[in-house]
Structure 1
Amino acid sequence: MRVNGLVTGGTKGIGNAIVLRLLNAGATIMTTARTVSEDLPESVGFIQADVSTSEGTEKIIKDTLEKLGGLDVLVNNVGGSSSSTAGALTLSDEDWLKTFNANLFASVRLDRGFLPAMLKHHKGVIIHISSIQRRLPGNMTMAYSAAKAALTNYSKNLATKFGPEGIRINTVAPGFTETKAAERLIERMAQNSGKDYNGTRQELMNALGGIPLGRPAKPEEIAELVAFLASDRASYITGGEHTIDSGIIRTI
């Protein structure tokens, strides 16, 4: 049976890796971004919208349901932060709201829009891409860490509510992943600290307590976990936070 899926932010980084992995598994995939990408396969449907706004999510919901008729898998991937990394006192109300809109409220709005159609069929999968930063709050990523912590809490509640209706909802929490967005964050941190890129990158790895496998994750490795959770092979897995970080988080 053909699976219809939507991956937000699927033109770059982890989102793009997820799009390609699900497409390779035979799913019909749509994705979103604020700007048009020429790198997507022709078979991938594209919706140009800003998922961090209510207008953007309304457009995504409307266009997806019109084109696919329904949705089997929703991967809420959009996230990140462009706020100052100089600390709490430099963050304005706008910084906080912008970060929470991208990392929490985008998922809340899309879930609310697509769940009714999933409930009609008593089947569906929602995956929220969180981050280990929700368990490693730092002064330089305060708003982002708080938003991801809220996303994990929200996801757990949603899974408990809709599990009896056949909807599986999970969170994936990647560790340090080598993406363009991660590179931009390191560049901002380097500018604030006055250090070079490589030194700041190593400092960030050290700040995480070191990476047992000795390297950051690749986006494709995160996509493999997402593809498994989206498949029927994971039919009894819901309500979980699935950390993929090379053992950075050492607490039990």
Structure 2
Amino acid sequence: MSIKVLLVDDDQSCIDTLKMNLSSFSFINIVGECNSAEAAIRFLRENEADLLFLDIEMDGISGLEFAKHLQTAYPQILIIFVTGHPGFAIEGYEAHPIDFLTKPINILRLEKSLTRVREVMSSRIAAKGKKIGIKIAGGIQIINVNDILYIEKQGRKISVVCHNNEIFHSNETMQNLEAVFSDFGFFRSHQSFLVPVQKIKAIYPDSFTRSYSIQLTNDEKILPLSRNKYNELKDLIEKQTKVISFF
């Protein structure tokens, strides 16, 4: 999941520091930076953003005033307030921000805020009708994402395998499908497989190949999990599920 971020602060040094901190997070895509609410308003008329890091104290239109405007004009945009004075937090809660960060920003605190952002965005995606169009020979096939068991690459052929025993052969590349389906909770478990994390029933160590295997709900086929992908998948599952321990 790529998150489009707009930075709004009348202190350019604060923007520069925040950009440096955000560079540690691969899913963050900084689409713009503005030194005033007025500039941010102009930016949003022509561009999209998922998340604003918004300074509360700014000359002209304050961050609090701008946040109220966003609630009406762009209610889908998430807000993280950034302030040097925590006392503004009480008034700022009227704008329903994701979080408040105090300058100088603590990187661990920032990570916690971004985790919350990803949770909110994932829940929004889950609430939508999950249908997607996939390129196939001669046209586009509309598929309910919830029906997909896994996506497999065999040579140059890509197969989208569904619960109802339907298999669609796509003309897309695995790289493109990975980029699209990551927003729907799919994980590249192996160079040849994309699997929906929510449908993982079990993970088994494979001593013969020194790697791991995945079993999905309502499917008997065992799919491979690359050894170098295990820790990444483990972290995803631990965030979504109450796991006592991993082997």
- TM-score of the aligned structures, taking structure 2 as reference length: 0.39
Q: Larger relative CO (CA 8 A, sep 6+): 1 or 2?
A: 1
Larger radius of gyration: 2
Taking structure 1 as the reference length, what is the TM-score of the superposition? 0.38
Higher strand share: 2
